[in-house]
């Protein structure tokens, strides 16, 4: 691979060579699920430009080897890049891969062309009419519209702006519910003494 640059986090090690990228998933909670998601997503996207091409994989040590895509992260995406991203997202969905988010850090820009990397958090299509798949497609398109809006909202049609506002409102309400649930759990745990429920269970069992 020639010269190698190494990027390492607590969850993975990424070795970037001249033409290949080797991604090693470290043993951490849910690491096999993240590995399998990325592997299966890349296999579905095989042959499509704008996505890494999987070269080989090793299930035993959760390692993926893929082609290197060239480009850089941009703080501001051009109109041309945003239009190209639309096409990529539709190709990705047609291949049966829906992303849970579309952060700029996962977009490599070269000229007006975009490449998408990192597919650990995706939903893969089973049945085309599966409720989970239909929801996942909407989530992917929501994140696409949100990204375009951040960079140039003039590229959105009125219908798309209305969709974005509608789903943003739903998302905000879900975030509020999530924060309330998290807060409720903390309060509940703070009132629960260690071993309380184990002791209660044993007590009830003894009575029987």
Q: What is the pLDDT of residues 136-179, one digit of tens each?
A: 999 999 999 999 999 999 999 999 999 999 999 988 887 777 77
**Domain definitions of the chain by residue range:** 1-69, 70-183
User: Angle 131-152/79-94 helices, nearest 10 degrees?
Assistant: 170
Higher-scoring residue by pLDDT: 150, 196: 150
Residue of 49, 171, 163, 157 whose CA lies nearest to 100: 171
Band the pLDDT of 18: cuts 50, 70, 90: very high
The Cα–Cα gap between 9 and 185 comes to 29
Average pLDDT over residues 74-93: 97
- Whether residue 50 is predicted with pLDDT greater than 70 in this model: the reply is yes
Residue 183: both structure tokens together: 């807060």
Band the pLDDT of 187: cuts 50, 70, 90: low
Contact at 8 Å (CB) between 116 and 106? yes
Which CATH architecture group holds 1-69? 2-Layer Sandwich (3.30)
- Give the DSSP letter string of 122-139: EEE-SSTT-HHHHHHHHH
* pTM given for the model: 0.82
Residue 77: both structure tokens together: 């995406």
pLDDT of 189 reads: 64
- Give the DSSP letter string of 140-154: HHHHHHHHHHHHHGG
The Cα–Cα gap between 170 and 98 comes to 19
State pLDDT tens for residues 62-76. Answer: 999 999 999 999 999
Residue of 25, 50, 49, 48 whose CA lies nearest to 38: 25
pLDDT of 201 reads: 43
- Whether residue 202 is predicted with pLDDT greater than 50 in this model: the reply is no
For residue 71, the SS3 value is coil
**What CATH number matches the domain at 70-183, 3.40.950.10, 3.50.50.60, 1.10.510.10, 3.10.580.10?**
1.10.510.10
Average pLDDT over residues 70-92: 97
**Fold match between domain 1-69 and domain 70-183:** no
Give the angle 156-147-31 at the CA atoms, nearest 5°. Answer: 145
Band the pLDDT of 22: cuts 50, 70, 90: very high
């Amino acid at each position: 691979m020639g010269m190698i640059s190494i990027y390492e986090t607590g969850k993975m090690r990424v070795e970037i060579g001249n033409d290949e990228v080797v991604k090693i998933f470290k043993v951490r909670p849910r690491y096999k699920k993240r590995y399998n998601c990325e592997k299966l997503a890349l296999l579905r996207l095989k042959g499509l430009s704008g996505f890494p091409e999987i070269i080989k994989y090793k299930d035993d040590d959760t390692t993926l080897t893929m082609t290197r895509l060239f480009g850089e992260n941009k703080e501001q995406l051009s109109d041309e890049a945003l239009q190209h991203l639309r096409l990529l997202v539709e190709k990705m969905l047609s291949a049966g891969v829906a992303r849970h988010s579309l952060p700029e850090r996962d977009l490599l820009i070269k000229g007006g062309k975009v490449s998408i990397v990192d597919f650990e958090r995706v939903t893969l299509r089973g049945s085309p009419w599966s409720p989970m798949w239909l929801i996942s497609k909407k989530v992917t398109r929501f994140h696409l519209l949100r990204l375009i809006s951040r960079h140039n909202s003039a590229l959105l049609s009125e219908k798309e702006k209305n969709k974005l506002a509608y789903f943003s409102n739903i998302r905000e309400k879900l975030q509020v519910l999530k924060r309330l649930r998290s807060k409720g759990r903390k309060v509940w745990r703070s009132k629960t003494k260690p071993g309380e429920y184990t002791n209660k269970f044993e007590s009830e069992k003894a009575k029987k």
